[in-house]
Structure 1
Amino acid sequence: MKKVIRLVNVQIWAMLANMLSVGDLKKKKVNVIYAGIVLFTVVLGGTLCYYAYFVGSILKAYNSIEVLPSLFMAFACIMVLFTTLYKVKGTLFGFKDFDLLMSMPVSNGKIVASRIMLLYVLNFVFVFITMGAVTVVYGILARPGLIFYLFNFLAVFLLPLIPIIIASVLGTILSFISIRLKYSNIIYIVLVFLLVLVWMFLPFSIDTNEALAEASKAMADRINTIYPLAGLYSKAVTQGNIMSMIIFAAVSILAFMLFTWGIGKIFVKLNTEVMTGSYKAAYKLGELNISSPLMALYKKEFKRYFASPVYVLNTGFGMALLLILTVCLPFIDMRDLMGDVQLAVSLKEFVPLIILFCMATTCTTMASVSMEGKNLWILKSIPVSAKTIFASKILVNLTLLSPSVLASVIIGIILKFSFIDELLVLLLVVSFALFVPAFGLVINLSFPNLTWTNETVVVKQSTASVISIFSCIGLVAVFYGLIKFTDNFYTGALLFICLIWILNIIIYKVLTEKGVNKFIKL
């Protein structure tokens, strides 16, 4: 057991260290890590508490407050299922340090246990924050006895187990499919997008609070039918049923132990299959297509982007959401949504903010250099300039951001914006579209991570990704602040456009001078 714990500890700290590849700040890494974890916990916990209190207040008004814990338990399990699906390949199978681990004087069973425990630890953080939030809110609204807190505390440690098993099985199947099917990544990405969108838009399909309460009851009943452990959990924590708690714990632990044992038996074989692959193709000699260096690099970057589901899911969801909102807009009554008071003024402020926010989350360049990993030397050795390489990475990001221009035009037509309003929104979108990829690339060059063993670390958890995304979102907040400070949409928008263009000029100058030197030194 000591070896398993030691392996898990090494893997977690290696992952955290890779998140903060900052060079001169190595001595401060631990403090930065702790500060980041605390900030993440506070922000996520506060958001979940707010949402739990909103739903819980409605449920309490209709005498259905006991549904709240099971709803959030289901939410936590679903999120564990979704996030583990794309972590399986790279954590349990197909991870880059497989050969190194297998050469160590540790049994296969202990290596398997350490990899599964790593998945557990990564998911436990989210489950703990989620269930902690609902525990606080339920305690305030329902005033339960001590048994609720005791059982809920024990259940938190057991909740991730079954979803991890299900996700690991599905992830393993997807890994094998990806070996044999050409477009499996695209299919997987689309399915995950659809599932997340259904979960997001379900609350908005309900018109009244009473309907929300009834829908929550029905949803809880359906969850208990599909996932019996949810019913056992609900009886244990809300009714204090000791037998339900014992069965819930026994099933979760036994299933996890059996899964670990079963994976251990086929671990080496599965990794060998996943890492070596099985490709079948009928090669035919045909006409060779010739592209310019920039276009060839652009195509290569685009293929690399869609070859990584975690990359697409974390940087493409904003644009996908914007397009869906644009398509659905003609069927939405904006007066019901926002009220009659100063509707036109509200929409002029609201629409650009939504578009810019979606753009801020669509920054691919914040990881494009790091994603080259140990193969960066190949890119640096080809006879093209660093500026051409930068241009190819920026063009991929601009391609993904281009739907925002079309969306802004369509939304303006649907909402009957004046010519001036439409022109101003377009200027905002184009200016911000030029800023996002260049800024992300500068940040990635400043905080590269070329020693990663898991793409998730680079895309979601690296210093570059955190700085890029939150800085871009922060600029959207600055835009809103300028509107409120000047008390005039046009003045605030023009000031923001001027600010963005000043930043664009500075960033592109830095990119073509210092950025080139940093790239050469990598």
Structure 2
Amino acid sequence: MSRYIALTKVLLKNGGSPLRQDKKKRNKTLAMWGLLALAFAPTILLIIQFIGSAYDVLLKINQQGLILGLGVSFVSIFIFFFGIFYSLNVLYFGNDIENLLPLPFKPSEILGAKFTVALFYEYLTELILLLPLLIVYGIKSDAGIVYYLNSAIIFLLLPIMPLTISSVLNMILMSFTNIGRHRDKLKILGGIIAMFFAIGLNIGMQRIGVSSRDPEKMLQMITAGNNSLLEASNKMFPGTAIVTKALIYNSSLQGLVNMFLFAGITLVVILLFVMLGEKLYFRGVVGISETSSKRRELSSKELAKQIVKKTSLNALTKKELRLLFRTPVYFMNCILMNFLWPVFMLIPAFTQPEMLVELRNTSEFIKDPSIISMVIGISLAASIFLASTNGITSTAISREGQNIFISKYLPTSYKTQITAKLLSGIIMGTISVIIMILAAVLLIRIPLYLPFVVLVSSLPGIIFSSLVGILIDLNFPKLTWDNEVKAVKQNFNVIINLVLGMIGGALVAFLAIRLQEYGVTVSISLCILFVIIDYILYQITVTKGAELFANIEV
């Protein structure tokens, strides 16, 4: 136990602390945290307001417990799904694995310490998603001290089960894919399989929940009151029913029993996880940094094709994209995200077939030429958000890490190097939008001219988010890291870019919908405005940004 605690402390400290930085970097980091807090404040206030309003409505039919049921289920599913990516990165893709394996640690100690690090960051997620729910419900229901004690315990225990399930899934997959000469390819394949398994499991659980919602039974539950709708809301993830009852009935014996039951189940899950880790973890992690290379003699013609002269911008852009695709951590966090959004669109179609029918019915509405203005505005707004989610440009400088000095010796200008990093983000952002368009064509059967309109109106938004991301990373590069996970997954530049993308997208969508009466003029004006903003940001990036790049030191 002492070695597990010591290793956990070391891994958490290596995550980086602003207090250990020099004064200039510390001030920048603290300013970034302040900006982040201000950016999230409106979102948290909206969540609090929504929860309060929903409580008042449901209280009238004595179904206020439904808020806790849905909230706990949502948080569990959210942690489970994104835990697939994060646990895979932390447990397997860190460079510190090579340093830990020779040390006298048991598999369970290394696994436990790394799992605790992953769990720590899930608590940050809970601060935004779960804590407001628990506090608002407690205040609205005039709950006593027991409720808040139970809430504190559940806050600590709730992420363990979904994160454990996702980690076990990764362990099983990695123990079989970490073989042979093509480990990098198999690691990426294992991550993709884990992602689709998680999506499939979510679809299955949602189908069970939907299939159990017989209209007559639902009506009986609503009229019965007494939080009877909890049974319908708690089928989305295992264990959420126990958690919800422990909170709602906190002052009774039923609440106490459910509290101890949930704690007991969590303890059993942890023990099973540790036992399984002893058997499987080293099988998946030993030799994980090894890779293979092709050895083939080239003919004179093949050699001539390989050495065709290309522009430095072309070569550097290809290099950026190849690194993103070939490095498992970067692929899982930066590339794969561009392909996930169509999957998220398709999940409701698989879980609720009637929704697919309703979506297809909207095709007649979309064919109306008068709706084109809203389509342009919404496309621009969506592209701003989508391009900010992949983290390619907002980690472009950080991914260089300790090797940033190599960029100083390349026979190309800083402007060209920055532009290549920028183009890699724009290309992947455009691919993401194209995939979304194809998914919409399949689901809604939109007119043939509309995909072209959507793509053209999306480009200014993609370029905007990509420029904002690289400007953030040029100002706050995270170059001190010992594994690629910290460069992309523990990099707050990604979150800042995402928040700014959400705000920008929401503002554009609001204007496009609110000013719809002015027709295409407003939407086209917004697109032109962003083209102008993009030009200004690009000039800043290749001038001031190049100066920042030149002055970066590790």
TM-score (norm 2): 0.71
Matching residue's letter, 1:505:
Y
Q: For 1:84-483, what aligned pairs fall within 5 Å after superposition?
A: 84-100=83-99, 112-139=111-138, 147-180=146-179, 182=186, 183-190=189-196, 219-220=232-233, 222-223=235-236, 227=238, 229-239=239-249, 240=252, 241=254, 242-257=256-271, 259-260=273-274, 263=277, 270-276=284-290, 285=297, 287=302, 290=306, 292=310, 294-306=313-325, 307=328, 308-314=331-337, 317=340, 331-334=359-362, 349-362=377-390, 364-376=392-404, 385-403=413-431, 404=433, 428-477=457-506, 479=508
Q: Provide closer, same or farther for how the CA distance between residues 314 and 22 of structure 1 changes in structure 2, counting only shifts above 3 A.
A: farther
Give, in whole Å, the separation in 2 of the partners of 1:237 and 1:209: 28
Give, in whole Å, the separation in 2 of the partners of 1:521 and 1:209: 68
Q: Provide closer, same or farther for how the CA distance between residues 30 and 323 of structure 1 changes in structure 2, counting only shifts above 3 A.
A: same
Contact 1:89 1:171 (C-alpha < 8 Å) held by counterparts: yes
Give, in whole Å, the separation in 2 of the partners of 1:197 and 1:57: 31
Whether 1:507 aligns to 2:537 is yes
Matching residue's letter, 2:428:
L
Deviations 1:6-62 (A, max 9, x none): 6545544542548x9997632326744763675577456445445545665665565
Give, in whole Å, the separation in 2 of the partners of 1:276 and 1:146: 54
Deviations 1:167-220 (A, max 9, x none): 221122333455345444444455556777899999999999996988965644
Q: Provide closer, same or farther for how the CA distance between residues 297 and 97 of structure 1 changes in structure 2, counting only shifts above 3 A.
A: same
- Aligned residue pairs, count: 512
Give, in whole Å, the separation in 1 of the partners of 2:420 and 2:440: 30
Calculate the aligned-residue CA RMSD, in Å.
Answer: 5.2
Distance apart, 1:166 and its partner CA: 1.7
**Partner residue, 2:352:** none
Deviations 1:90-132 (A, max 9, x none): 4233422345556889887665543232222211232354443
The farther-off stretch of 208-217 and 143-152 is 208-217
Q: Provide closer, same or farther for how the CA distance between residues 191 and 397 of structure 1 changes in structure 2, counting only shifts above 3 A.
A: farther
Distance apart, 1:309 and its partner CA: 0.8
Secondary structure in 1 aligned to 2:481? coil
Deviations 1:243-296 (A, max 9, x none): 33223212323442553466468766653243346x6x8865564552635555
Matching residue's letter, 1:512:
V
Give, in whole Å, the separation in 2 of the partners of 1:244 and 1:476: 43
Distance apart, 1:143 and its partner CA: 5.5
Contact 1:322 1:355 (C-alpha < 8 Å) held by counterparts: no
Distance apart, 1:155 and its partner CA: 2.2
Secondary structure in 2 aligned to 1:357? helix
Give, in whole Å, the separation in 2 of the partners of 1:99 and 1:481: 50
Q: Percent identity?
A: 21
**Partner residue, 2:225:** none
Contact 2:122 2:159 (C-alpha < 8 Å) held by counterparts: yes
Q: Provide closer, same or farther for how the CA distance between residues 495 and 276 of structure 1 changes in structure 2, counting only shifts above 3 A.
A: same
The farther-off stretch of 391-400 and 293-302 is 293-302
Q: Provide closer, same or farther for how the CA distance between residues 25 and 356 of structure 1 changes in structure 2, counting only shifts above 3 A.
A: same
Q: Provide closer, same or farther for how the CA distance between residues 268 and 377 of structure 1 changes in structure 2, counting only shifts above 3 A.
A: farther
Give, in whole Å, the separation in 1 of the partners of 2:244 and 2:534: 53
Deviations 1:354-402 (A, max 9, x none): 3443344455222123223344456665655545444443333232233
Structure 2, gaps ≥5 residues long:
180-184, 223-227, 350-354
Secondary structure in 2 aligned to 1:509? helix
Matching residue's letter, 2:257:
M
Q: Provide closer, same or farther for how the CA distance between residues 175 and 405 of structure 1 changes in structure 2, counting only shifts above 3 A.
A: closer
Secondary structure in 1 aligned to 2:286? helix
TM-score (norm 1): 0.74
Contact 1:318 1:361 (C-alpha < 8 Å) held by counterparts: no
Q: Provide closer, same or farther for how the CA distance between residues 53 and 354 of structure 1 changes in structure 2, counting only shifts above 3 A.
A: farther
Contact 2:175 2:281 (C-alpha < 8 Å) held by counterparts: no
Distance apart, 1:448 and its partner CA: 1.9
Q: Provide closer, same or farther for how the CA distance between residues 372 and 258 of structure 1 changes in structure 2, counting only shifts above 3 A.
A: same
Give, in whole Å, the separation in 1 of the partners of 2:488 and 2:471: 16
Q: Provide closer, same or farther for how the CA distance between residues 276 and 360 of structure 1 changes in structure 2, counting only shifts above 3 A.
A: closer
Contact 1:72 1:134 (C-alpha < 8 Å) held by counterparts: yes
Matching residue's letter, 2:397:
V
Contact 2:395 2:494 (C-alpha < 8 Å) held by counterparts: yes
The farther-off stretch of 454-463 and 282-291 is 282-291
Contact 2:175 2:280 (C-alpha < 8 Å) held by counterparts: no
Matching residue's letter, 2:84:
L
Give, in whole Å, the separation in 1 of the partners of 2:335 and 2:439: 25
Give, in whole Å, the separation in 2 of the partners of 1:198 and 1:70: 19
Give, in whole Å, the separation in 2 of the partners of 1:71 and 1:428: 36
Matching residue's letter, 1:302:
L
**Partner residue, 1:83:** 82
